[in-house]
């Protein structure tokens, strides 16, 4: 079966057409009003390998999950109540989409389905609306000949029977356009605001190499856990769930679409909605002449997380969700969603492993940033990095997420800032090679700060590299460093 996309992108393209006129047949003065139609579509990523950690690879590595395993869901459903453009200075927001009951945004088969949000579908290719023949739709995007891809019940690539008409796993070459709104207010916009329901749905399995007991190497095993619809945190018996309720031994369990809370607070069960504000990186202006485009991205590389019960790690509720049982939970949307002006160029995904040392002062960090057996303890970590490039080939977004961020949180963060994604964190070493800085703090605060040296983005899928990293601060006042190996998988 074809592997799913690890990164799903919702492309928001503004396309400006001719004036819209209100006319009548009388001799009275005709009022003319300029409007700017807004189109939303989906960019599908042609993925080479699934983002979930490989059990075989984990077994060969020194990394051990202590309490959390994470990976990429195969399906996500978010219920959107509203979307607005705003400039963040108190002026009224411009609505893109409003629906009090909410409409479902689906991420599946490697694409983002917006057709439940908006009813009027237009084919949009490079800012040009493609005319369709009678009976054709553009919900699944366009193929290389700019022809609409049609929904099917049986996937022509994987052979999977969906049981209903769906977009096939064939990757479109361009995004469909979905008519969303008529924007009639010129101006510069700096934020995309969304209101979504806190209860979402996810489907998928995650794999981890867990150390059940530090004292017994025999308990050192690889385990796979899958979402189960009857075992969500919204169930009254959530505190009694154990690992075996989710574990898939020799594929004994299949993933099921399952309720998850996007609100990770202790009162998640009564919190019905979440307000999200995404700063737009770049100058986004509606002026009636240019045709700018915003990209709203959802990084799914490590979005699905399983918190298990293990004898060597005290049970701690993850995300303040007040559950003492095993459970699945997602990343907070504000840590893996982003917006920027323009359509992305290349998108890369790297799995990584690191050998990390921790010292009391920055002066103690060795010049080669290598943790040795004689150092004061070395730690093995693993995770995923997503990098998005602009059409000119320069990186614009980088997001690092560990497989288990409960073990040692030192390689986690992005280039997020209160004004959008900060491109200055990428320091060019040579063509295709960059030093990449990151910060952990979804609100833009500078908590953990770190930098990875000389990442070679010229490497092809299947190729590896080893470089170094260090942090300038940690929440406990210590400093970390180490060697990190990147394997390009997307």
Per-residue pLDDT tens over the stretch 234-272: 888 888 898 889 998 877 788 999 999 888 777 787 889
What is the token pair recorded at 57?
């690879």
Lowest mean pLDDT segment, chosen from 202-216, 397-411, 428-442: 202-216
Q: What mean pLDDT is predicted for residues 413-417?
A: 83
How is 45-92 classified by DSSP, letter by letter? P--SS-SSPPHHHHHHSS--BSSEEEE--SEEEEEEEEEEEE-SSSSP
Examine the pLDDT at 14 and tell me if it is beyond 60. Answer: no
pLDDT for position 451: 93
- What is the Cβ-side half-sphere exposure of residue 149, based on CA atoms within 13 angstroms? 24
CATH for the stretch 344-490: 2.40.160
What is the token pair recorded at 381?
């970590």
Lowest mean pLDDT segment, chosen from 79-83, 238-242, 310-314, 347-351: 310-314
Q: What mean pLDDT is predicted for residues 99-124?
A: 66
- % of the chain beyond a pLDDT of 90: 17
**What is the band of 228 on the pLDDT scale with cuts at 50, 70, 90?**
very high
User: CA-to-CA distance for 490 and 487, rounded, in angstroms?
Assistant: 9
pLDDT for position 44: 39
User: CA-to-CA distance for 231 and 245, rounded, in angstroms?
Assistant: 8
Compute CA distances 100 → 83, 96, 146, 185, 448, whole Å: 12, 14, 35, 23, 38
Under 8 Å between Cβ of 410 and 403: no
Lowest mean pLDDT segment, chosen from 97-106, 190-199, 379-388, 448-457: 97-106
Examine the pLDDT at 162 and tell me if it is beyond 70. Answer: yes
Per-residue pLDDT tens over the stretch 53-84: 655 555 566 787 877 888 888 888 889 888 88
Lowest mean pLDDT segment, chosen from 103-117, 377-391, 402-416, 429-443: 103-117
Per-residue pLDDT tens over the stretch 431-485: 999 999 998 764 444 557 889 999 999 999 889 999 999 987 665 678 899 999 9
**What is the band of 24 on the pLDDT scale with cuts at 50, 70, 90?**
very low
Examine the pLDDT at 176 and tell me if it is beyond 90. Answer: no
Distance from CA of residue 286 to its chain's centroid?
27
**What is the band of 178 on the pLDDT scale with cuts at 50, 70, 90?**
very low
Q: How big is the CA angle at 418 (ends 84 and 390), to the nearest 5 degrees?
A: 80
pLDDT for position 54: 57
**What is the band of 283 on the pLDDT scale with cuts at 50, 70, 90?**
low
């Amino acid at each position: 079966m074809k592997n799913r996309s690890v990164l799903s992108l919702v492309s928001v393209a503004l396309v400006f057409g001719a004036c819209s006129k209100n006319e009548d047949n009388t001799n009275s003065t005709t009022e003319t009003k300029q409007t700017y139609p807004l189109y939303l579509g989906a960019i599908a990523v042609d993925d080479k390998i699934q983002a979930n950690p490989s059990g075989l690879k984990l077994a060969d590595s020194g990394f051990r999950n202590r309490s959390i395993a994470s990976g990429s869901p195969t399906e996500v459903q978010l219920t959107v109540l509203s979307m607005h453009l705003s400039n963040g200075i108190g002026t009224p927001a411009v609505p893109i989409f409003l629906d009090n009951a909410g409409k479902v945004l689906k991420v599946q088969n490697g694409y983002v389905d917006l057709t439940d949000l908006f009813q009027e579908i237009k084919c949009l290719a490079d800012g040009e609306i493609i005319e369709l023949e009678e009976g054709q739709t553009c919900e699944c995007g366009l193929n290389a000949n700019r022809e609409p891809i049609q929904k099917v019940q049986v996937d022509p690539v994987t052979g999977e029977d969906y049981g209903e008409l769906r977009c096939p796993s064939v990757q479109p070459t361009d995004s469909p356009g979905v008519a969303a709104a008529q924007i009639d207010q010129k101006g510069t916009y700096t934020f995309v605001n969304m209101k979504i329901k806190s209860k979402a749905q996810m489907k998928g399995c995650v794999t981890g190499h867990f150390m059940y007991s530090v004292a017994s190497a025999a308990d050192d095993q690889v385990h796979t856990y899958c979402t189960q619809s009857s075992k969500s945190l919204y169930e009254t018996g959530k505190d009694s769930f154990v690992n075996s309720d989710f574990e898939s031994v020799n594929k004994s369990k299949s993933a099921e679409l399952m309720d998850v809370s996007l609100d990770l607070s202790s009162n998640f069960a009564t919190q019905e909605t979440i307000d999200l504000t995404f700063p737009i990186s770049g100058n986004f202006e509606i002026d009636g002449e240019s045709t700018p485009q915003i990209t709203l991205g959802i990084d799914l590389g490590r979005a699905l997380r399983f918190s298990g019960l293990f004898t060597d790690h005290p049970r701690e509720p993850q995300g303040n969700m007040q559950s003492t049982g095993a459970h699945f939970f997602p990343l907070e949307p504000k840590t893996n969603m982003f917006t920027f002006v323009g359509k992305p160029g290349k998108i890369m995904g790297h799995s990584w492993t690191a050998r990390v040392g921790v010292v009391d002062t920055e002066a103690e960090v060795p010049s080669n940033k290598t943790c040795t057996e004689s150092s004061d303890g070395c730690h093995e970590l693993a995770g995923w990095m997503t990098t998005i490039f602009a059409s000119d080939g320069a990186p614009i977004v980088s997001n690092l997420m560990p497989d288990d961020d409960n073990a040692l949180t030192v390689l986690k963060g992005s280039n997020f800032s209160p004004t959008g994604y900060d491109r200055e964190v990428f320091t060019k070493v040579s063509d295709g090679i960059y030093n990449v800085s990151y910060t952990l703090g979804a609100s833009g605060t500078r908590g953990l700060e770190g930098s990875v040296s000389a990442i070679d983005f010229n490497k092809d899928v299947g190729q590896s590299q080893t470089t170094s990293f260090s942090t300038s601060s940690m929440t406990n006042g210590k400093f970390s460093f180490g060697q990190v190996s990147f394997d390009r998988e997307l």
